[in-house]
Chain A
Amino acid sequence: MNNRTFVYGLWCLGVAGLFIMSTVYAWSPFAQGSRARTHGGFYGPTHK
């Protein structure tokens, strides 16, 4: 195995690792919504 193959193998492992992490945390850079950072008050109780 030459250096290029080894480095590319590591690269693929890194990409696969990031993909798995993004799946574990159900994260995407393109998700429209996320945790509200500026919400000040309480909604509750909101359930019927």
Chain B
Amino acid sequence: MSEQITPVDDDKPPIAGSWKRLYTFVLLLHLVIIIALYIFTKIHS
């Protein structure tokens, strides 16, 4: 069983410049998808 604490890379993500910005992008995109689905529901109800 490995007991050592391994140093981890904490590189920037390949897009968006920082992890914080990438997480924000994913959550905002999810919000847009939910709003789009809500509008989809309203249009087809």
| A, B from the same assembly | no
Residues of B in contact with A (beta carbons under 8 Å apart): none
